Amino acid sequence: MTTSLAQTALDNLLEEAKKAAANSYSPYSGFKVGAALRLANGTVVTGTNVENVSYGLTICAERAALVRAVSEFGPEIRIAAVAVANLNDAASPPCGACRQMLAEFAAPDTLVIFPAADGMTTMPFDQVLPLGFDMSLKKTGKIEQA
């Protein structure tokens, strides 16, 4: 499903991520990041990083976009593609926390495009997070590790 997205659609998604990066609140690091999520219904939702003087309270662009998507469209959303951009010409794949959060809503073949050391990289989500934490809710209502 998601691996068939046209390159034009990915390029447009990346442009939306760049626009979001322009709104970054990053007075401490100066590292401006934006993310754009294409949902399965075709809607694009963006987010940007928002820093805090206590770095641990900073939220990454990918998580900001995801929180916005769930807030606007509900917990049933599914992500068809993810684009990450920064205005610092630096490699910036999604961090581990963002990868794990996205895993709740992304299929293994969901495409992720992000700046890498050798330019933009596009790969399926299961390569971005090959061994993510996974739990399944059983009909018993108990949570068991899969």
Cα distance between residue 73 and residue 75, in whole Å: 7
Torsion angle (degrees, nearest 10) of CA 119, 116, 123, 34: -100
Contacts of 131 (CB under 8 A, 6+ apart): none
At residue 38, φ and ψ (nearest 5 deg) are -95, 115
- Alpha carbon 44 to its chain's center: 12
Q: How far apart are CA 83 and CA 35, in angstroms?
A: 6
Q: Are strands 79-86 and 106-116 parallel, antiparallel or unpaired?
A: parallel
Active site residues: 62
